[in-house]
Amino acid sequence: MLEEQFKISKLVTASLQGKLNEVQQAELDVWLARSEENSAFLKSFADEQQVADELRSFDAGDGQATWNKTQALLNQSQSEHRILLWPKIAVAAAAVAAIVFGLWFFNEPHRPQPVSKSAYINDIKPGGNRATIRLADGKVIGLDSTRSRVLVQDSVKTTKIETLVASTPRGGTYSFILPDRTIAYLNAASSIEFPSRFTGKHRSVQIEGEIYFEVAKDKEHPFIVVMKGQQIEVLGTHFNVNSYHDEPGTATTLLEGSVKISAGNVQKVIKPGEQAINRSGMIAVRQIDVENYVDWKNGDFNLNHIEFKTAMRKIARWYDMEIIYDESVPDNMESGGWISRDKPLSTVLKSIESSGLVKFKVRGKKIYVMQ
C-alpha cells in the first residue's frame, strides 16, 4: 500500500510540473479512473485557495505532526530513493508540501479526526438572499441581498409581454411575487421563467431546481408549472416542487388544495400530505411528513428519515460545496436530526457526526465523507 502511495505521489508531482512521459501518464490515468476521489484530489491542486489553506494550516502547527507521521512511514519503507523524494516541508516546494498532506490523507482515509473548530480555519458561511432577474433583452439584474422578496409588476402599459427569468445560485434563496400575486420561493440553484403579464386561459411558468408555490386563486385561469418531464396544474394551492437534475426523480409535495400532475399520458391528482414522485414518466404517490420537504423554506435542515445522500445534496447546494464519498459509505443509509440553515458548515457537519454514522473532512470547497 505504502509503495503505491509513493508511486502515485511521484506521478502527481510530475504531472503538476508537466514532466510526465507517456508511460507515466498512462499509469496516472489508470489511478484517476479508479474513483472520483482520486480525480478530485488531483484537481484540487488547481484550487489556489485550497493549497494556500493547507500551507497555512501546516505553518500553524499541524504540519509538524503531519511531517513526523510521514517521516515514520518513510523510515518503515527502508528505501533510500523514496526518502529522497520527500525533503522536509519547511524547505519543500508548495506542490510537494501539498502532496505530503495528500499522502497522510491517503494513509488515514477511514480514521479521520472528528470535525473540530481547528479544522475550520476558513469555515464556510451559510447561504443567503442572493438572486438575479434576466430581462428579455438579456440584461441581468442582481437583487438586493438585504431583502428576501421582490414584487414583479408589469409597469409597461403596452400589449408587448416580456419573458423574465428569476434565478438563485448555489448558496442563494429568494422569493418573488409574480404578476398574478402568486408567490414563488426559490431554493438554492433554482430558476423560474414567467411572463411580465399573464394573458390567455392559463398562467404558465417554467422551472428548474426547487420552488415552493403559494398560488393566487383564480378559477378561470389555472396555474401551470412546467418542468422537464412533467407539468402541474392548479387553481389555488400551496405546494413544493423539487426538480433538481441530480435527484432521482421530480417530487411534488402538497400542503393545501389539490394538484394534477401530468407526465405524458400518465396523470395523478394528489391531496394535502401526499407526495408524487415522477421517475421517467412513472408517477408514484405516497403519504409523507411535509415538514421534511419544505424545511428549507422555513430556514431549516430537517434530516429525519430521509436518505443520507439526499440530505448531503441539500447541504451541498446551500453551502456551495462538492461532496466526495469514500467507497465505505453505503447508498441506503438514513439520516436524522434537525438544524437551522443559518449555521456555519462546521456546526452542521458536527451535528451529523454526533450520530456516529459518518466522519467528515473539509478541504477547500469539498466535503469528504467516510465511515
pLDDT digits (tens, 9 = 90+) for 5-52: 667 777 777 777 677 887 788 778 777 767 777 777 777 666 555 555
Neighbours of 248 (CB within 10 A): 11
Closest-CA residue to 261 (of 294, 293, 291, 237):
237
Distance CA 141, CA 65 (A): 49
CA 279 to the chain's CA centroid: 21
**Domain extents for the chain?**
2-108, 128-292, 299-370
Handedness of CA 130, 136, 139, 141 (dihedral sign): negative
Of 13-17, 109-113, 146-150, which range is least confident? 109-113
CB atoms closer than 10 angstroms to residue 146: 7
pLDDT tens column, 202-257: 999 999 999 999 999 998 999 999 998 899 999 789 999 999 999 999 999 999 99
Look at residue 64 in the predicted model and tell me its pLDDT: 52
Who wins on pLDDT, 333 or 274?
274
The cell numbers describing 282, all together, are 412513472
How far is residue 137's CA from residue 123's CA, in Å, rounded to a whole number?
39
Distance from C-alpha of 104 to C-alpha of 268, rounded to nearest angstrom: 53
Mean pLDDT of 263-285: 93
- 196 DSSP assignment: S
Task: State which fold the 299-370 domain adopts.
Answer: Phage tail protein beta-alpha-beta fold (3.55.50)
Q: Which three cell numbers stand for residue 318?
A: 446551500
- pTM for the model: 0.68
**Identical fold between 128-292 and 299-370:** no
- Judge: domain 128-292, CATH 2.40.50.100: no
Task: Give the pLDDT of residue 52.
Answer: 56
What is the rounded radius of gyration, in angstroms, for the C-alpha atoms of the chain? 25
115 confidence band (pLDDT: 50, 70, 90): low
Please state, in angstroms and rounded to a whole number, the distance separating the CA atoms of residues 236 and 222. Answer: 8
Question: Mean pLDDT across the stretch 158-183?
Answer: 91
Which residues are within 8 A (CB) of 246 and not within 5 positions of it... i.e. 6 or more apart?
Answer: 313
Closest by alpha carbon to 362, among 322, 327, 330, 308? 322
Amino acid at 36: E
Residue 27 has what pLDDT?
77
